[in-house]
Structure formats: C-alpha cells, structure tokens
Amino acid sequence: MRTAIRIMGAVGLGLVVGIATAQSRARPVRPNPSHAARPTIPAGYAGIVRAWHTATPGKKAPRDTHGRPMLVLHGMYIDERAAISAQSDEGGFYVDDLFHAGHVLREPATGNEHLPELRTLDLLYRIQRHFDAEEIRVMSAYRTPVPGNSQGLHARGRAVDFVVPGAEDIDVARFARELGFAGVGLYPLGSFVHVDTRERSYFWIDRSGPGHRSRERGILLDVARHADELARAGGETPGTFFSVADGGAPGEEETDEDEN
C-alpha cells in the first residue's frame, strides 16, 4: 500500500518540437487531482485472495465432545491451525486456550506472540458460526510495536485481519457490525475484514491497496452507537482489556476509536 510507479514511454523528437511550438498558444496545464496515482494491487494477489475466500467443498469445522463447532484459526502465512472449544454458542474460551490461539496468531516475520483478548476470540467464533464456515483464515493478527508505529490494537492482541471462506467480505463486515463493542474495517482492495474489540464500536472502509498508505474513512457512526446499545441491553460488556507484555492487569480499559 505504498507507491505506484508509472513509466512514460519515449516521445519522438518531432512530437516534442510540435508541443514546444504549441505551448506559446496553449493555456497553462494545471494538475488534475483525479489523475493522481490510484491504489494498485501486486500481480497475482487477486488470485491468492480468491483462493483464500474459497471454501473447501464439504468441509466443516470440527465439533467438540458436546457437538458444538470449534473455533478454527488458520494462520495463512504460517499455514498452521488451532482448533479450540467454546464454552457456549456465543464463545467463551479457557485461559489455557489463549496460548494455543496466540501461537497461531503470532507475527509471521518475527515469530513474536501475544495472548489474544478473550472477547476477540468470541467475535471470531460468532462470525465463524454465523457463516457456518470451516475456519477463520487469518492474514494478520499480532504485530510487534516499532518506534514511530504502535501497530494499534494489533499490538495488544485485540485485532485480527481475516477472511471467511465461502463468504463475501461485505457480508462478513455487515454481520460483525451487529456484535457491539467492536471495530470493523472493510478493505475492498486488500480483500479482507478487520475486527477488534474496544469500548465503543467504530466502523470504517479503507480503499487502499496492499502495501499502500491507509485511506481509512469512518462510516455508519449511528449504526455503531446502536449496536453498542443493543449489546449492552443484552447484557454484554466491552470486555476486560489487559496486556501481559505491557504489565497491564485486568480492568485496565483502553479506548481507541481510530486504531486498526
């Protein structure tokens, strides 16, 4: 999502002379904002994400001893899976399972890990069950903080970028927005959905391409507020945010309306 380079072809000498002559009569040419470099995607990327979105024929998530579908996290860049049992149809996971999940959600480039927030796993589980998907295919989860870039909620185990095999990203985002106390980002060119857990819901769309600078735009602010109201009325809470790496403790809540 960084820079697109356009290479102009060589211009014949006669054409150059003609243009130079005409310039004395032509109006000054001003840059046209609509001609600015547009986001692009790397060659072959479309085929990769198409394969990631394609469900395996006849494959379903494994079931636990209670007959309930397990949450299956598939780290696409490390090609590893974690299948963990939920305590209810809405999620609920044992602390021991956080280590298993955190290993698969680790940063591929460094191998660094972070325990994911319990409610983040709840959101992913509810999404997987809603679409009766075989697994959640993870593109990015934990990101190591670097100087000048905190990596937002990804660095705190509270955010995941993913696709749901067999489902359209726009449908996944639409459902995730109903869950309450969540950040939901739709990336049409990147071809994935971002979900995180936070104190107040915030939704956005980002039309930047892979490797390009973010072009985030907040959307549906009234829908976000309504989703939180419904979740609170149903007895849900934002969750208890904590960070083992940062020495935090349960009860230390943070609010990041615009971090992704």
Reported as a single tens digit per residue, the pLDDT across 14-64 is 433 343 344 434 444 444 444 445 556 667 777 888 899 999 999 999 999
* Structure confidence by residue, pLDDT tens digits, 162-194: 999 999 999 999 999 999 999 999 999 889 999
Please tell me the distance from the alpha carbon of residue 248 to that of residue 175, in angstroms, as a whole number: 31
Give all domains of the chain, ordered by start, each with its CATH number.
Answer: 45-233 (3.30.1380)
Where residue 7 falls among pLDDT bands split at 50, 70, 90? very low
- Report the SS3 class of residue 212: coil
pLDDT of 124: 98
Mean pLDDT for the chain? 80
Residue 105 confidence class, pLDDT cut points 50, 70, 90: very high
| 67-93 pLDDT, tens digit each | 999 999 999 999 999 999 999 999 999
pTM of structure: 0.77
pLDDT tens track for 142-162: 999 988 777 789 999 999 999
Closest CA to 210 of 66, 42, 16: 42
**Chain Cα centroid distance, residue 27:** 46
For residue 240, name the pLDDT band (cuts at 50, 70, 90): low
Comparing CA positions, the residue from 109, 114, 85, 106 lying closest to residue 97 is 85
